[in-house]
Structure 1
Amino acid sequence: MAHLLPLTLVVMTRNEAQKIARCLDSVPFAAEKLVVDSGSTDNTAAIARAHGARVLHQDWLGFGPQRNFAAAQCSHPWILMLDADEYLTPALIDELQQRLPALMESDGAAAVLRRHLIYMGRPMRWYRPAVGEKMARFYHRDRARWSDARVHESLQFKGFPVTMKAPFLHDNNPSLVEKQLKILLYAELKCRDWLDKNKPARMWQTPFVFALAFIKDYVLRLGFLDGWRGYAISQTAASYAAYKRMRYYEMRQNPASRDTATAALTRSGLDH
């Protein structure tokens, strides 16, 4: 049995019944496991409780605010935050158990973990963002906080984080269908952030953004070395970069589309 460390594992969920058990079970050393659910209609909450988690409900606030809400509910100030489709590897479990006690006794703020992507059922081997992507996921809630962005939030803190060597895994969208649906949601959230900031709509940039984003991912980030999977992930990233600009332009040109899009996402269960 793993030695428990005084930290809280936090997972935010909505309809993650197929994944939540694996995620929770991959952190056997967490003294507390907290699931903040935003309205699951499947067995997510029951499964989470069966696997040792305390479950709270919170209506969706946006990724950054939801993470900060969750952090405030933890019994311990040190927090490990994972998504439901992420889980630790045995090597990272061992490394965290060995290295976290020293960090938790220090005045440090955070630790960076390396994330490896599983895409189309297999690990990516060369595509740079999918192999060892550095993500700050372990932190002290009084020394770090998440940005208030609705999507693409980041952990903000001062100082230099500790970086772990072993990876954790991200079992990405089961199919391109789920990925495209997520793109619709993420683009909508990003555009709402742009509206709040009154960002100008520069549609003329869109063709160049698509081309540059594809070249960056497929060539500079070595997507081409992963074969057709590398092409697919690069094309999807470029399409997202272009689509969110087109959608933002539409929001500015036709404000009524904001409400109709929200209603459509809600009917499809994609409002968050």
Structure 2
Amino acid sequence: MKTIKASVCILTKNEEENLPKCLAPLADFEEVIVYDSGSTDKTVEIARKHGATVIEGDWEGFGTTRKKLFEAATQPWIFWLDADEIAPDDLIGEIRNCVEADPKTNGYRINRTTWIGRKRFRHGNWYPDWNLRFFRRTEWTMEERDVHESVKVVGIEGDFLTRLEHYSYRNWAERKTRSQRYSKLWASQAFRDGMRATYFDQVGHAWGCFLKGFILKLGFLDGIGGFRLALSNSAEVSDKYRRLRKAWDKFGG
């Protein structure tokens, strides 16, 4: 069987637990590139064992670092994959068919299902979660933000039918720790962009997030886990705006 003429691009740091499961289904791709920013575990060793090209470099924020990774790709298409994601066989089949057909479409969105531990979320603010993840190497631009960076393409976009499985957090404690990190990055970016917030913005957006996720987007159908997720997302939003307000109090005019 022919290899898939696409570059799979993965950012890593201390991903020895997730990376073997991420890399295992990718043997048919012509190129797998892992950009590692200072792992102290066996991440680099695992990547090389699976035949990936490893680039070891500095961490310069999500947007800038990922852009460097994409610029290293040599194949006609780029498949953006995170180390805590697994591409099912059906998705890889869709990608193969796309590459071989060479359509006029320049980019494809892929939906994700996210997990916390053994809990899979199919409702609420995390689902559906469509992102542009497969695109032509010559047709993309990167929005270089500190967190939640994104890619845009020139021309037609399409959708793949099969979902990525996103094993984002091992447990709720890890979810809390990382959400605080993301809040800090978001507030820093928002402050540099000149965005302002009041206490009422903080409270209003937090409540709005909870109601949207748990009620409007049917998070209650995920049971107790759905309730915990709605609370967690609401707390993260509140923390974002709290940090933004504090930044203006400390550094703003």
TM-score, length basis structure 1: 0.87
Flag structure 1 segments of 5+ consecutive residues without an equivalent.
256-272
State the match for 2:26 in structure 1.
Answer: 27
Conserved? CA contact 2:206–2:235, under 8 Å: yes
Alignment of 1:117-136 (within 5 A): 117-127=114-124, 129-130=126-127, 132-136=128-132
Alignment of 1:202-213 (within 5 A): 202-213=198-209
State the match for 1:51 in structure 2.
Answer: 50
* Alpha-carbon RMSD: 1.6
State the match for 1:224 in structure 2.
Answer: 220
Distance 1:77 1:92 in 2: 18
Q: Which amino acid aligns with 1:121?
A: R
Conserved? CA contact 1:29–1:97, under 8 Å: no
Report the Cα offset of residue 93 of structure 1: 2.1
> After superposition, what is the alpha-carbon deviation per residue over 1:181-204, rounded to whole angstroms, capped at 9, x for unaligned?
111211111112112212223222
Q: In percent, how many aligned pairs have the same letter?
A: 26
Distance 1:33 1:197 in 2: 35
State the match for 1:199 in structure 2.
Answer: 195
**2:93 pairs with 1:65:** no
Report the Cα offset of residue 128 of structure 1: 6.0
Report the Cα offset of residue 100 of structure 1: 2.8
Q: Which amino acid aligns with 1:110?
A: G
State the match for 2:143 in structure 1.
Answer: 147
**2:159 pairs with 1:163:** yes
**2:74 pairs with 1:78:** no
Report the Cα offset of residue 71 of structure 1: 0.8
Distance 2:193 2:164 in 1: 35
Report the Cα offset of residue 82 of structure 1: 0.6
SS in 2 for 1:83: coil
> After superposition, what is the alpha-carbon deviation per residue over 1:10-68, rounded to whole angstroms, capped at 9, x for unaligned?
10001100011111122222101100011111110001110111111121111111111
Q: Which amino acid aligns with 2:117?
A: M
Distance 2:167 2:45 in 1: 22
SS in 2 for 1:55: strand
Q: Structure 1 201/161 Cα, relative in aligned 2: closer, same or farther at 3 Å?
A: same
State the match for 2:3 in structure 1.
Answer: 4
Distance 2:205 2:111 in 1: 28
Q: Which amino acid aligns with 1:65?
A: T
> After superposition, what is the alpha-carbon deviation per residue over 1:145-167, rounded to whole angstroms, capped at 9, x for unaligned?
22011111121123331211111
4+ residue segments displaced more than 4 Å: none
Conserved? CA contact 2:104–2:156, under 8 Å: no
Deviation larger for 179-188 or 214-223 = 179-188
TM-score, length basis structure 2: 0.93
Q: Structure 1 170/215 Cα, relative in aligned 2: closer, same or farther at 3 Å?
A: same
State the match for 1:111 in structure 2.
Answer: 108
Q: Give the length in aligned residue pairs.
A: 251
Which of residues 236, 244, 251 in structure 2 aligns to 1:248?
244
Distance 2:20 2:14 in 1: 12
Q: Which amino acid aligns with 1:85?
A: D
Q: Structure 1 19/42 Cα, relative in aligned 2: closer, same or farther at 3 Å?
A: same
> After superposition, what is the alpha-carbon deviation per residue over 1:213-234, rounded to whole angstroms, capped at 9, x for unaligned?
1000001111001100000111
Q: Structure 1 101/162 Cα, relative in aligned 2: closer, same or farther at 3 Å?
A: farther
Q: Structure 1 77/96 Cα, relative in aligned 2: closer, same or farther at 3 Å?
A: closer
